[in-house]
Amino acid sequence: MSNSKIRVAIIYGGASGEHSISIATAGAVMRALDPERYEVVPIAITRDGTWVPGATDPSKLTLDAGLLEVEKAPEAVTIPAGDGKQSLVAYNREHASNLELLGNVDVVFPLLHGPFGEDGTIQGLLELAGIPYVGCGVFASAAGMDKHYMKVVLEAAGLPVAPYVVATARQWRDEREAVLAKVAQLQFPVYVKPARAGSSLGITRVSTLEDVSEAVAQAQIHDPKVLIEQGVDGREIECAVLGGRNDSTPRASVVGEVLVDLPDDGFYDFEHKYLETANLRLSIPAQVPPEISDKIRDQAVKTFDAFGCEGMSRVDFFLTPEGKTYVIEINTIPGFTPFSMYPVLWEHTGLPYSQLLDELIGLALERPTGLR
pLDDT at 201 over 50: yes
- What confidence score (pLDDT) does residue 98 get? 80
- What confidence score (pLDDT) does residue 282 get? 87
- Of 82, 79, 78, the C-alpha closest to 91 is 78
Q: Residue 135 in contact with residue 332, Cβ under 8 Å?
A: yes
Indicate the pLDDT class of residue 2, thresholds 50, 70 and 90.
very low
Strand, coil or helix: 365 = helix
pLDDT at 165 over 50: yes
Q: State the Cα–Cα distance between residues 29 and 33, nearest whole angstrom.
A: 6
Helix ranges (DSSP H) in 198-244: 212-219
What average pLDDT does range 92-104 have in this prediction?
84
- Say whether 298 counts as a known binding-site residue: no
Q: State the Cα–Cα distance between residues 96 and 79, nearest whole angstrom.
A: 15
- Of 259, 257, 193, the C-alpha closest to 226 is 193
What average pLDDT does range 42-46 have in this prediction?
97
Report the catalytic residues.
18, 199, 340
Indicate the pLDDT class of residue 339, thresholds 50, 70 and 90.
confident
- What confidence score (pLDDT) does residue 247 get? 83
- Of 273, 271, 239, 270, the C-alpha closest to 259 is 273
Range of weakest confidence among 152-156, 257-261, 300-304, 355-359:
257-261
Indicate the pLDDT class of residue 66, thresholds 50, 70 and 90.
low
State residue 144 phi and psi, 5-degree precision.
-70, -25
- Say whether 175 counts as a known binding-site residue: no
Tell me the domains of the chain and their CATH numbers.
6-133 (3.40.50.20), 144-160+234-366 (3.30.470.20), 164-230 (3.30.1490.20)
- What confidence score (pLDDT) does residue 16 get? 84
- What confidence score (pLDDT) does residue 1 get? 44
Q: State the Cα–Cα distance between residues 199 and 101, nearest whole angstrom.
A: 36
- What confidence score (pLDDT) does residue 265 get? 53
Cα separations in angstroms, 35 against 40, 108, 111, 264: 8, 16, 19, 47
What average pLDDT does range 318-325 have in this prediction?
97
- What confidence score (pLDDT) does residue 93 get? 84
- pLDDT tens across 227-237, in order? 999 999 999 99
Q: Name, in order, each residue with C-beta under 8 angstroms of 283's C-beta and a sequence gap of 6 or more.
A: 256, 257, 258, 259
What average pLDDT does range 225-254 have in this prediction?
96
What average pLDDT does range 124-131 have in this prediction?
97
Q: State the Cα–Cα distance between residues 358 and 9, nearest whole angstrom.
A: 14
Task: Please work out, in degrees rounded to the nearest 5, the angle formed at the alpha carbon of residue 16 by the alpha carbons of 11 and 20.
Answer: 65
- What confidence score (pLDDT) does residue 267 get? 52
pLDDT at 270 over 90: no
Q: State the Cα–Cα distance between residues 103 and 101, nearest whole angstrom.
A: 6
- pLDDT tens across 281-298, in order? 889 999 999 999 999 999
What average pLDDT does range 255-267 have in this prediction?
71
Q: State the Cα–Cα distance between residues 117 and 15, nearest whole angstrom.
A: 8
Q: State the Cα–Cα distance between residues 261 and 250, nearest whole angstrom.
A: 34
Q: Residue 103 in contact with residue 7, Cβ under 8 Å?
A: yes
Bridge partner residues of 313 (DSSP): 241
Cis peptide before 115 (omega within 30 of 0): no
Mean pLDDT for all residues in the chain:
92
Sheet hosting strand 235-242, strand order edge to edge: 280-283, 251-260, 235-242, 312-319, 325-331
Kindly tell me the number of DSSP H helices and DSSP E strands found in the chain: 11, 16
Q: State the Cα–Cα distance between residues 114 and 44, nearest whole angstrom.
A: 15
- pLDDT tens across 168-194, in order? 999 999 999 999 999 999 999 999 999
- What confidence score (pLDDT) does residue 258 get? 85
Indicate the pLDDT class of residue 274, thresholds 50, 70 and 90.
very low
- Say whether 329 counts as a known binding-site residue: yes
Range of weakest confidence among 185-199, 316-330, 335-349:
185-199
- What confidence score (pLDDT) does residue 372 get? 81
